[in-house]
Structure 1
Amino acid sequence: MNPQQTDSTNLIPEGFRRNGQNHLVPEAQIKAIDKLRDDVVMSIVTKARHVQQSMAMFKASAMNDITDFVDLSAEEYDINWGGTKGNITLISFDGRYKLIRAMGEHRIFDERIQAAKTKIDQCIARWSEGSSEQIKALVDHAFRVNKQGRIDVNQVLSLRQLDIDEPEWRDAMDAIADSIQITGTSTYLRLYERQESGNYQQIPLDISKL
């Protein structure tokens, strides 16, 4: 039997398994149920890795097909715009299937968001009680941090929809806009099938929705 291998630099000698504390434990000292549990987990993870790789290959192939088609379609009008940019919707001839390629930006706030929050707090402090208390609750909710410890960009941007004609408030809204930084983009592929009702239902590729 060849030594087990968890990665390219971490070989496990024959007859041993590595535990959660990174210690090598002789298999003779491991309970049968613990071995079986480990085997079940590793078997499922191995299969999941293959599925993950297949899905990645599918996405890359589908994105290339969409890009090639968009470029080909643009050639009819003597335009070469590069099919990798922008959101695209493609529908089958019979209307049964719809594909959407969507481009999403990763946005975060830089340090200027704190200046914006301070200006907003100053506005609320100067206003009379009543409606300002409701606005303060909206602001506190918008500036909550998410599980990653970051302020949700969309939540904060929702404050810009408030119809408040106050110079300092408008300055705060400008500071919010200026503090947004684009850190990258992601490309999403969504597939839909038309139901008897006429509505399109997404074809789930998320394992939890299957």
Structure 2
Amino acid sequence: MNAMDGFMENAQGHMVPREQVKEIDFERHRLVMEKVAKVQAMRADLAKLKAEIMDDVGAFVEMSCEQYGAKLGGNKGNVTLTSFDGRFKILRSVAEHITFDERLQAAKALIDDCLREWTSDSRTELRAIINQAFRMDKTGRLNTGAILALRRLDITDERWAQAMQAIGDSIQITGTKAYVRVYQRNDAGGYDNIPLDIAAV
């Protein structure tokens, strides 16, 4: 129902008198809204739980480091805490968001020079790898991992080395995101993630 008594808002934003809404449509709406409210409440609880775990893990790491006279600054770095019996572990990881500035275009130009010269050779696989690395996804974002992987290729051409330097110089850290995952030991001795994704439960 809407704030206007006796009316319901449809998908086009129009106010429809309640008596003109079929009962099955009303019951469907009621069911969806009831379950959505519960999901939203659970999402808020999960956000609070994540914050609690991050804070408590960070405090524990600080306490542990203080035994050695070390002082840390904030929840930085990856850490794994394991229960005494080894059945459970908590992993806190911090991932950096990486983008590239305009120097990436210089790197691409140098790489293209190399590829033009190498086309007479049988390096088609390398061309495919490079083209894939610089291909944007549907949202216009580059594949950061694929671009950084180019720097691990063992190529001695001076232009290639300059291109790899340009890639390194173009890297910009635009932020970080913290993740927390909880694992339980399985019968095989490995660890399974305890899923909090409703689709994985």
TM-score for both structures, normalised by structure 1: 0.89
User: In structure 2, what is the Cα distance between the partners aligned to 1:129 and 1:18?
Assistant: 65
Aligned to 2:20: 29
SS in 1 for 2:111: helix
Given candidates 192, 197, 207, the residue that maps to 2:188 is 197
Amino acid at match of 1:80: K
Q: SS of the counterpart of 1:183?
A: strand
Aligned residue number for residue 69 of structure 1: 60
Alignment partners' CA distance in 2, 1:20 and 1:118: 49
Q: How far is 1:83 from its partner?
A: 5.0
Deviations 1:31-72 (A, max 9, x none): 222222222221121111111011011111111111111111
**Counterpart of 2:175?**
184
Tell me, yes or no, if the aligned pair for 1:68 and 1:83 is still in contact at 8 Å: no
Aligned length: 201
* Structure 2 match to 1:17: 8
User: Does structure 2 conserve the Cα–Cα contact (< 8 Å) formed by 1:105 and 1:184?
Assistant: yes
Give the counterpart letter for 1:103 in structure 2: V
Q: Identify the residue that residue 7 of structure 1 maps to in structure 2.
A: none
Question: One-letter code of the match for 1:27?
Answer: R
Per mean C-alpha deviation after superposition, the further-off stretch among 98-107 and 25-34 is 25-34
Question: What is the percentage of aligned positions where both structures have the same residue?
Answer: 46
What's the counterpart of residue 156 of structure 1?
147
User: What is the CA–CA distance in structure 1 between the aligned matches of 2:98 and 2:181, rounded to whole Å?
Assistant: 21
1:67, 1:82 within 8 Å by CA — same for their partners in 2? no
CA RMSD, Structure 1 to Structure 2 (Å): 1.6
Instruction: In structure 2, give the amino acid aligned to 1:105.
Output: E
User: Deviations 1:89-114 (Å, cap 9, x if unpaired)?
Assistant: 11111111111100001111222222
Quickly say closer, same or farther: Cα 1:24–1:111, change in 2 above 3 A.
farther
Quote the residue 2:103 is aligned against.
112
Match of 1:133 in 2: 124
| Bigger RCO of structures 1 and 2 (CA < 8 A, at least 6 apart) | 2
Q: Does 1:209 align with 2:200?
A: yes
- Amino acid corresponding to residue 171 of structure 1 in structure 2: Q
Distance in 2, matches of 1:21 and 1:179, equals 46
Stretches of structure 2 lacking an aligned partner (at least 5 in a row): none
What is aligned with 1:121?
112
Structure 1: runs of 5+ lacking an equivalent: 5-11
Q: Which residue in the other structure is 1:86 paired with?
A: 77
Write the distance in 1 (CA, Å) between the matches of 2:105 and 2:178: 30
User: Is residue 2:190 matched to residue 1:168?
Assistant: no
TM-superposed CA distance for 1:80, in Å, is 1.8
What is the TM-score with the length of structure 2 in the denominator?
A: 0.93
